[in-house]
Structure 1
Amino acid sequence: MSLGQQLAPHLPFLRRYARALTGSQGHGDAYVRATLEAIVDAPDQFPRDVDPRLGLYRTFHAIWSPANMEPDLIDEGVHQPEAIAQARLSRITPLSRQALLLTAMEGFTPEDTAYLIEAETAEVEALVNEALVEIERQTRADVLIIEDEPIIAMDIETIVRDLGHEVTGVAVTRDEAVALARAKRPGLVLADIQLADDSSGIDAVKDILAEFSVPVIFITAFPERLLTGERPEPTFLITKPFQRSTVKAAIAQALFFDSATVPA
């Protein structure tokens, strides 16, 4: 099997990680493209002594720079919230953000995460704890949940409230979601893809975003369909079935990049 064939199944999830890390589909996908170009240009430098997925993420980390998003790697039109987020990176150290996302969202072990960020395993655990402490200090938000499965909706609501956020409502259809958003503007939306009346959570979010800007986290059992890099796609994506830590990390990242307050 060629290296390309070995890496192909892991690309959607690298896009998910890159988008969450940078706060933007455009930025994240640009770094993934740069990673693939680096592998094509120097295949002999690709780590062959580890699992292909580990080697792929390790190559990505060799290219990604949290303090300097290179202009030639990024699509034109950097939006103001993204510029603000870049200025706020000092709120939580780059390594702690990487460690949290790699373990909670991508499911890497502390040992694998240590390899990816070139740290000791004990340091990874300390970095994750540092990130979680920072999350506890994060600004609270009003959250709209769009989910038609009652048990899943209740689980998400519990996680959201445990994090200190308020839930403005739980919608099970597109129309209900839009109505709830209009009734009380949320600071964050968590949306399932397929809703009760065969309407789409994506369409519901499009309707909401047409009226005002709000960060969105999509929830789906088929993440690969929304991580192709070929069209406008979600920046933040949670895979069903999900872990509490995954939802927590995704909410933290979405709100981090959405904040309009730049610390002095």
Structure 2
Amino acid sequence: MHPHLPFLRRYARALTGSQAHGDAYVRATLEAIVAAPEEFPADVDARLGLYRIFQAIWSSSHVEDEPGFGGDAPREAIAQARLSRLTPLPRQALLLTALEGFTPEDAGYLIGLPAEDVEALVNEALAEIEAQTRAKVLIIEDEPIIAMDIETIVRDLGHEVTAIAVTREDAVREAMAERPGLVLADIQLADDSSGIDAVKDILTEFAVPVIFITAFPERLLTGERPEPTFLITKPFQRATVKAAIAQALFFDEATALA
């Protein structure tokens, strides 16, 4: 079960839009397993069982009494402005399949629906994404082919790419020149500088949602320091990037209230 925890934390954060809030759900999941180990699903693999317990806790809770709810309540309130347009279940189906890589059958097991219903929910979520508020996007990526691929995905979603930066210095300069509404950042940059440091520099100037892209996501999901809310694993699928972008903007105040 332990190897699957970093990725459950990634899913929880993407679903809630918050590190603290997502981690609180994961903590509640682990506490439930410890309290009643006999209820852990025995007929599926450990990863499916772990996510199934998490889904049960998520679906049975409410905004006003969710575990750990408090410090970032305004972010959840922001999300309410869009819940009428993109309901929780379609978002769960999209994130489970696009971000976490579950098949429609496995996702259906997790949320208690047939595979065909999962596919319909994913299509519903994708349709809602098409109507999402457009944003200006800064890409921080030093690999030209990957940068071009990300740029194409961003533009296909209807967003504007303000710049593609390849170093920490470039990233900060471009962000200050034209403030983006979203940042997509690689970890290792061209001059051996860090995308994490670039993002920290940018965030000292203004708030903006960030999606990190890395070949080693487990290194950023250790629980030992502040970690990214949105994280994409390389090599990535186009659907994964689309889902992460949509979810990051879903929870962003500027786009939610536009």
Q: CA deviation at 1:70?
A: 5.5
Q: CA deviation at 1:90?
A: 2.3
Counterpart position of 1:165: 159
Secondary structure, in 3 states, of the residue corresponding to 1:73?
coil
Secondary structure, in 3 states, of the residue corresponding to 2:235?
coil
Q: CA deviation at 1:259?
A: 3.7
**Contact residue 139 and residue 164 of structure 2 kept, 8 A:** yes
Partner residue of 2:11 out of 11, 17, 22: 17
In 2, Cα distance between equivalents of 1:78 and 1:240? 29
Q: How many residues align?
A: 257
Counterpart position of 2:30: 36
**Contact residue 67 and residue 86 of structure 1 kept, 8 A:** no
User: Structure 2 vs 1, CA of residues 72 and 140 (structure 1 numbering), >3 Å: closer, same or farther?
Assistant: closer
Secondary structure, in 3 states, of the residue corresponding to 1:211?
coil
User: Structure 2 vs 1, CA of residues 200 and 104 (structure 1 numbering), >3 Å: closer, same or farther?
Assistant: same
Q: CA deviation at 1:79?
A: 5.1
In 2, Cα distance between equivalents of 1:32 and 1:233? 15
Which runs of structure 2 are paired with 1:82-231 in the superposition (5 Å)? 82-231=76-225
In 2, Cα distance between equivalents of 1:157 and 1:106? 22
CA RMSD of aligned residues (A): 1.6
Could you list the runs of 5+ residues in structure 2 that have no partner in the other structure? none
Q: What's the TM-score, normalizing by structure 1?
A: 0.93
Counterpart position of 2:42: 48
Secondary structure, in 3 states, of the residue corresponding to 2:31?
helix
Q: What's the TM-score, normalizing by structure 2?
A: 0.95
Could you list the runs of 5+ residues in structure 1 that have no partner in the other structure? 1-6
Counterpart position of 1:238: 232
Q: Percent identity over the alignment?
A: 80
**Contact residue 34 and residue 73 of structure 1 kept, 8 A:** yes
Superposed CA offset, 1:38-68 (max 9, x none):
0011000000100110000000001014872
**Contact residue 249 and residue 255 of structure 2 kept, 8 A:** no
